[in-house]
Structure 1
Amino acid sequence: MKKRLTVLTSVIALGVISACSNSDDASNPDSNNADLVNETGFPIVTEPIELTFFTGKSEPNTNNFEETYVWSTYEDMTDMKINFQLNSFDGLSERRNLVLTSGDYPDAFYSARLTSSDLATYGEQGILIALDEMIEEYAPNFHEALEQHPDMRKGLTMPDGHIYSIPSYYDPSFLPMLIGVPLWIDEEWLAEVGMERPTTTDEFYEFLKAVKDHPTLGEGDAIPFSGTNITEVRGHLQGAWGFGTRGVGHKFIDIDPDTNDLRFFRTEDKYKEFLEYLNKLYTEELLDHEVYTHDSTQLLAKGAAGRLGAVITSNPESLMNQDTFSGGEALEGPYGDKLYSHVKPPLIHVGAFAITNKNEHPEATLRWMDHFYSEEGATFYFMGEEGNTFVENDDGSLDFTELITDNPDGLTQDQALASYVTWLGGSYPGYVQEHYFKGSETLPNAVENGEMAQPDVVEEVWNGFNYTREEQQFRDSVGADLETFINETEDAFITGRKSFDEWDAYVEQVESLGLEEYMSIQAEAYTRYQEADE
């Protein structure tokens, strides 16, 4: 009932917006203040201006963005004062949607997690302005990134052909960042049970079983295998059965490598065998039963206590203070499939930044944002103040100073950074490259994992598809119910609450819940996605 009401509210909101907006605004965003913008350099404008941004905020960041080093310095550089209206990421979508539908929205949305549906809907209605005609002139750095990465343009182009946002984009060559949460195995525990690192799903099972049967590992309280949630477990192991051929951005569809056709893989017979493997891990207590209930904090506590033999997480060294884990290559499945499927799309947040039709200075605002797509701007944004928070080494590499890594006041790295930068917690608009991003994905063990994963990594990673309003309405109703039914039933199969004798009946039920129309919509969206950069 709650889901139905949410969909109904969204549909009503679309009607209200349509009645009070002019869709022609989307293709004609130019303001009357373009002459105030300097073509290059700083300041950006010839006279000071002030703007307000609706801004998403994660917990590590300060409660006053304007006082941080990056924004106070940038205000002086640009002559543009930004008032950041901070909104916690908890409940962000509800507050963002309320602001949009009320009509009382700001000049721009910054780090606000606008979805593709938001961009298509509010862009079509003119509330968010199209950036197409302005990008080449006012955002040369972003324009260069679009030219270098056609997949970015594909993911940003809405069904009406316009681009309404600046994204958070991961460099596709930065594989450890795209993997995000590798499968790690404790090397000391491998030695203790007298085994080499597993290379197949059968060998992985045997290792987990040896951990469970060992009397002293984890002080007798060992958990053979865990992760933050079952979604990440599925995302990693499904590649051993040949699924997830376009990464984990699409959890129900991929490309069949045998036919090169779009495929709904969650009802395949081979996928049933994959679920049977997960069921074996779960029922034999090799997979942590709390993978369905615990949160990331509780998982990290288990790791910090030395209880895990294998774990899916970002980095045990930085998060659990455990330096005995290593990542590795993809596991080979029973049919010879060996695919490193847990690869996230580079276009990680499609709607990280968008400008509204209330903004009297869209050209200046776009130039303001574009600086952070340059090498100089990105280094400034991610690293802070040269000589204070970071240094450039003789070989050109960058490192945080001890003020950040070994803070004299005992602050953690995030706490020490919080007064300088605001990218902590993610969802920021920007271009993430290994050179200037110094998260746990750049630690030696993560880099090594990326090198080992590379030979088996998916050849093409899809960004999210973009849907028309009618398609999105289906996805928010029938499509959402279908996906929820599949996820919940799979959980029942994995945990043994549902017998695999019921598989054929389950497949028939999936087909009866609108699968044909679901795949027709996916096919249309996929066609547009392929054509977006042509």
Structure 2
Amino acid sequence: MKFSRSLTIIGVATLTALALAACGNSSSNSATSGTGNVTVAVSGFPIVKKPLTMSIMAPSMGKTNWSNMAALKEYAKMTNIQLKYNTPPTSDFSTKLNLAFASQDLPDIIYAAGSALTPANEVSYGKNGQLVPLEKLIPKYAPNFNKLMEKNPAIRKSITTPDGHIYALPYVAEDTIASWYIGPLWYNGEWLKKLGVKTLPKTTDEFYQLLKRFKTEDPNGNGKADEIPLTDVKMDVARIWLMPAFGLLSQDVQNDGDKVIYAPIDKRYKAYLTFMHKLFAEGLLDKDAFSQSDDQKNAKGQADRLGVFANYFSYFTTGRTTDQAMNDPMWRPLTSPESPKPVIAMSPRINRADFAITKNNPSPAAALRWVDYFYSKKGSLFINQGPEGYLWNYATNSKGQKVKVMAKGVTSTNSEDKRAEISPTYGLTAPMLTADWDADAIRAKADAPAVSNFTKWVRNETKEKIDPYGRVPFPLVYLTKDEQDSVAASANDLKTYVEESEAKFITGVTPLSDWDKYVQTIKGMKVDQYVKVYQAAYDRWKKAN
């Protein structure tokens, strides 16, 4: 799962407040890196006494030149490591990165690559010697990250390739909302109040009955039958929250009690399609759910026409304030005859391949030290919010405590635009640790709360409705080269066919009586081999130390 999120600095921002464990200011503890004549301090700053230059390749969000970012400029002074930046636009980054590997014209560091550096490429480029294995260097030169792996063994298992090496470091999220697999579905709280609904649906039948009331009882009060009970864009979010009502967590492979299944041919998936077709046929699911844009969906929300809808936060769709948004309940998992116990898909809280070191790097040890700071509390906060004087300044509150407050010219509405100018983490899953470090939040004023009421409310909704029922659909695994070759063609074909068929079944273009024909078609696309490969990968993952 990809965690692409931009982090604001107050209010909602504090949901993912970033910070790091302090490194000392002395660099008395040093060692030779083993990759040349570079001497690398194993703690403190600077990382190297003699100035060192490295090239770095990263996707740009297009807001500002990385060489002008205050966080990076200040960090260069702290570390004595200067960077030469190659930052193609995010839209071109994957292509540019692949060309760099193909031409052997590699940067020293690959940063925030995410999905552009695929698991298959990690395995391939690592085996070919283009990426440096990091596992032996990590204990000494990345102690902060090493502590994370010791605390959570799933991290090491999820970033270790079949040949036993770690070729890239991840983004690691420990903040509350990191458990979201994708942005939630939300109920229109004003409609619930209008209809006197005090308890959210707990079963698919109760959900169906509520949608019917949304459609027929004029909850927006305009006297028109213009209400849309449920909507989405291509079902990309709704399916993630609705499929678990039928016991399925993925539209791909899923781990069911250590047995890997292909969910789209499971009989429970047919039950999901049958339910969704019923909603569509009765006008309870938006007729535009498979064709509209996100902007079109939001326009309907701002016109108060939506009952249940998808977005990261509800006010992104409704246009309401954050205080009003606290009346819009988060989705809670449903049950059905196929799945009598509530369950919901949960994120693994890891995004792989966000920091890799290539064979051209003059000192992998120094590069590891450079990034490891961001896996501690103090350094993560630093790279995310920059040094004092840009987004924030220190102030003293009425209790005599030293707190961070917004810098002059920074407001809750422009904070992300300002942050984009000073931090490379804007809009990217950068190699770092995030957590709920509320004490480090940037406040509007010295005596303002560190955490907004909305932030507290969203965390509580998450803890109540997701955390007790969450389960990761499938762990982050790697395939061997032979396994990749055996499923590469069928993977894309399966994904395309399943998504197209879902839309046709739900809208009625294809009758559900064609289910057996659909299953046979998928079996003809080598799905058994596909499942066999992922079963083997899962078994390796489970057995890994």
Residues 184 and 325 of structure 1 are in contact (CA less than 8 Å); yes or no, is this contact kept in structure 2?
A: yes
Structure 1 residue 254 displacement after superposition: 2.0
Counterparts of residues 492-507 of structure 1 (less than 5 Å): 492-507=504-519
Residue aligning to 2:235: 230
Residue aligning to 1:256: 256
Q: Residue 513 of structure 1 aligns to which amino acid in structure 2?
A: M
Distance 2:401 2:459 in 1: 19
Structure 1 residue 384 displacement after superposition: 2.6
Residue aligning to 1:443: 455
Name the TM-score, length of structure 1 as normaliser: 0.85
Residues 274 and 506 of structure 2 are in contact (CA less than 8 Å); yes or no, is this contact kept in structure 1?
A: yes
Q: Residue 539 of structure 2 aligns to which amino acid in structure 1?
A: T
Q: Residue 299 of structure 1 aligns to which amino acid in structure 2?
A: K
Q: Indicate the SS of the match to 1:161.
A: coil
Distance 2:65 2:221 in 1: 43
Distance 1:522 1:504 in 2: 24
Distance 1:152 1:287 in 2: 39
Residues 315 and 441 of structure 1 are in contact (CA less than 8 Å); yes or no, is this contact kept in structure 2?
A: no
Q: Indicate the SS of the match to 1:420.
A: coil
Counterparts of residues 109-148 of structure 1 (less than 5 Å): 109-113=110-114, 114-148=117-151
Residue aligning to 2:27: none
Counterparts of residues 506-517 of structure 1 (less than 5 Å): 506-517=518-529
Residue aligning to 1:372: 374
Residue aligning to 2:364: 362
Residue aligning to 1:156: 159
Residues 129 and 355 of structure 1 are in contact (CA less than 8 Å); yes or no, is this contact kept in structure 2?
A: yes
Q: 1:88 to 1:284 in 2, by over 3 A?
A: farther
Q: 1:202 to 1:145 in 2, by over 3 A?
A: same
Distance 1:530 1:516 in 2: 21
Distance 1:32 1:319 in 2: 54
Residue aligning to 2:76: 75
Residues 228 and 313 of structure 1 are in contact (CA less than 8 Å); yes or no, is this contact kept in structure 2?
A: no
Structure 1 residue 126 displacement after superposition: 0.5
Structure 1 residue 402 displacement after superposition: 6.7
Report the more deviating stretch, 385-394 or 196-205: 385-394
- Deviation per CA, 1:165-201, whole angstroms, max 9, x where unpaired? 0111212x62455344122101210122233322221
Residue aligning to 2:340: 337
Structure 1 residue 480 displacement after superposition: 2.0
Residue aligning to 2:533: 521
Report the more deviating stretch, 441-450 or 469-478: 441-450
Q: Please say if 1:267 is aligned against 2:272.
A: no
Q: Residue 121 of structure 1 aligns to which amino acid in structure 2?
A: S
Structure 2: runs of 5 or more not aligned? 1-32, 442-450
**Matched residues, number:** 490
Residue aligning to 2:11: none
Structure 1 residue 458 displacement after superposition: 2.7
Distance 1:455 1:129 in 2: 37
Residues 239 and 338 of structure 1 are in contact (CA less than 8 Å); yes or no, is this contact kept in structure 2?
A: no
Residues 339 and 456 of structure 1 are in contact (CA less than 8 Å); yes or no, is this contact kept in structure 2?
A: no
> Could you tell me the percent identity over the aligned residues?
28
Q: Indicate the SS of the match to 2:525.
A: helix
Q: Residue 482 of structure 1 aligns to which amino acid in structure 2?
A: L
Residue aligning to 1:294: 292
Residues 276 and 494 of structure 1 are in contact (CA less than 8 Å); yes or no, is this contact kept in structure 2?
A: yes
Q: Please say if 1:100 is aligned against 2:101.
A: yes
Q: Indicate the SS of the match to 1:285.
A: coil
Q: 1:500 to 1:399 in 2, by over 3 A?
A: farther
Report the more deviating stretch, 426-435 or 42-51: 426-435
Report the more deviating stretch, 365-374 or 288-297: 288-297
Q: Residue 139 of structure 1 aligns to which amino acid in structure 2?
A: A
Counterparts of residues 7-406 of structure 1 (less than 5 Å): 30-34=34-38, 36-59=39-62, 62-113=63-114, 114-171=117-174, 174-175=176-177, 177-196=179-198, 197-215=200-218, 217=220, 219=222, 220=224, 221-244=226-249, 251-257=251-257, 260-317=258-315, 320-322=318-320, 323=325, 324-348=327-351, 350-386=352-388, 389-390=391-392, 401=406, 406=411
Distance 2:405 2:540 in 1: 43
Structure 1 residue 406 displacement after superposition: 2.2
Q: Indicate the SS of the match to 1:326.
A: coil
Residues 170 and 178 of structure 1 are in contact (CA less than 8 Å); yes or no, is this contact kept in structure 2?
A: no
Name the TM-score, length of structure 2 as normaliser: 0.83
Structure 1 residue 373 displacement after superposition: 0.4
Structure 1 residue 214 displacement after superposition: 3.4
Residues 389 and 407 of structure 2 are in contact (CA less than 8 Å); yes or no, is this contact kept in structure 1?
A: no
Q: Indicate the SS of the match to 1:63.
A: coil
